[in-house]
Amino acid sequence: MEIYGHDFDQTNLLAEEIRHTIRQQVHNARDITISRDEDRAELKINIDKEKIARHGLDAATISGYVYNRVAGMQAGYLKEDGEEYDIIVRLVEENRNTISDIESLSIPSAGGRIKLSEIATVEEYWTPPTIERKSRQRIVSVKVTPHETSMGELAMGIEKALEKVEVPQGATIRLAGDYEEQQETFADMGLLLALIVMLVYIVMASQFESLSKPFIIMMSVPFAISGVVLALFFTGISLDMIGALGVVMLVGIVVKNGIVLVDYTNLMRDRGYELNEAIALSGSSRLRPVLMTAFTTILGMLPMALSQGAGAEAWRPMGVVVIGGLLVSTLVTLIVVPVLYGIMSKHGERDKEERTRKEFVFLRMADDEKQN
């Protein structure tokens, strides 16, 4: 949770309230920390410009004197056994650790030495050690680690728990961090998936010289995604970025079985077989290659899906996604693709196309002979 606001006290109180709310209401949240450290005491010296002007001084000169006495100034180097050390000269701690000690510091001027208290006031205030900024705004973050849950479920739980948290005027809160990056990645994956589906369809349409045949093959993709959902549900694994990458890979994997069936059916029809007979022949003839390609891919992904070694949780979703999607899409390819082919095709369609192609070739040969 990112909290934006200029007032330190306001944002600190809001961050503590958010941490307390998440700890009490979100049970799968662990390691709830606030990025801003506790405030520390600092001294602020307010210089009277009129007084220092009468003494012939300026703010830079005074700050230099005070800094050299409190923090120290480099007076030289000490070489010992080949090592070089800085020599820092400053007041002992007993003479610089209280406000009265700072006010008693003597500042040389044109008229003699004067005390710092005569030309300035020293105040103590509390401030954070560091000031974080994002988009040119002050920010404090409340970081949460998910425990036995997915990042998306944790984010939904946090949003629900913070609905009753009153955000003061001048402050804003938003979910960010790894969750924000995950949502952006999923959006990019969705765009990539749509682009891949379009490119695969275009390639198949150009090869089959038809718009309906690629559509029949692409119908296996939605069923593959349903297989992904079922596989993730039964295994209890959440879809992450690696799993989403597996879904994108499925588009190119699942269409190959449909291409084998449709291409062989077209071949049988070109050889003179009737529509239903060509579909039956392609199904019986291409069953073995379809099952072989599917099972080789599934067995290749099985070690990844069953791995229990170090870092296996990062790659296991990809194996589960590919196996689940390929199992369902293979069954769909063997059943739905032939049925859709029969519905969307016409009896004698390939014969008409073959006759048209032969007539076109004949007319072209006749034109060539006339020209000769």
pLDDT over threshold 60, residue 284: yes
- Angle value at C-alpha 73, between 67 and 77, nearest 5 degrees: 165
Token pair for residue 66? 């005070």
Between helices 241-270 and 178-208, what is the axis angle to 10°? Answer: 10
At the top level of CATH, which class does the domain 40-126 belong to? alpha beta
pLDDT value at residue 217: 84
For the chain, the structural domain boundaries read 2-39+130-174, 40-126, 180-364
Token pair for residue 74? 């480099």
Nearest to 320 by CA among 193, 210, 215, 233: 233
- Give the model's confidence band at 362: pLDDT under 50 very low, under 70 low, under 90 confident, else very high: low
pLDDT above 70 covers what percent of the chain? Answer: 92
Using one digit for the tens of pLDDT, what is the confidence trace for 14-53?
888 888 888 888 888 888 888 887 778 888 889 988 888 8
- Give the model's confidence band at 185: pLDDT under 50 very low, under 70 low, under 90 confident, else very high: confident
Q: Which fold has domain 180-364?
A: Multidrug efflux transporter AcrB transmembrane fold (1.20.1640)
pLDDT value at residue 372: 58
pLDDT over threshold 70, residue 356: no
94 burial (CB, 10 Å; 0-12 / 13-18 / 19+) is exposed
| Mean pLDDT to the nearest integer, 266-293 | 84
Q: Which amino acid is at 240?
A: D
- Give the model's confidence band at 370: pLDDT under 50 very low, under 70 low, under 90 confident, else very high: low
| Mean pLDDT to the nearest integer, 249-271 | 84
pLDDT value at residue 233: 87
Using one digit for the tens of pLDDT, what is the confidence trace for 212-258?
888 888 888 888 888 888 988 888 887 878 888 888 888 888 888 88
Q: Kindly report whether the global pTM for this prediction surpasses the value 0.85.
A: no
Whole-angstrom distance, CA of residue 248 vs CA of residue 221: 10
> pLDDT: is 69 or 347 the higher one?
69
pLDDT value at residue 368: 64
pLDDT over threshold 60, residue 332: yes
Reading phi first (left if > 0) and then psi (alpha if -120 to 50, else beta), residue 47 is in beta
pLDDT over threshold 80, residue 313: no
Decide: 23 and 180 in contact? Cβ < 8 Å.
Answer: no
Whole-angstrom distance, CA of residue 75 vs CA of residue 335: 89
Whole-angstrom distance, CA of residue 69 vs CA of residue 43: 14
> pLDDT: is 315 or 140 the higher one?
140
Phi/psi of residue 138, nearest 5 degrees: -70, 140
Whole-angstrom distance, CA of residue 237 vs CA of residue 181: 20
pLDDT over threshold 60, residue 77: yes
| Mean pLDDT to the nearest integer, 282-307 | 86
pLDDT value at residue 41: 81
At the top level of CATH, which class does the domain 2-39+130-174 belong to? alpha beta
Nearest to 68 by CA among 13, 118, 106: 106
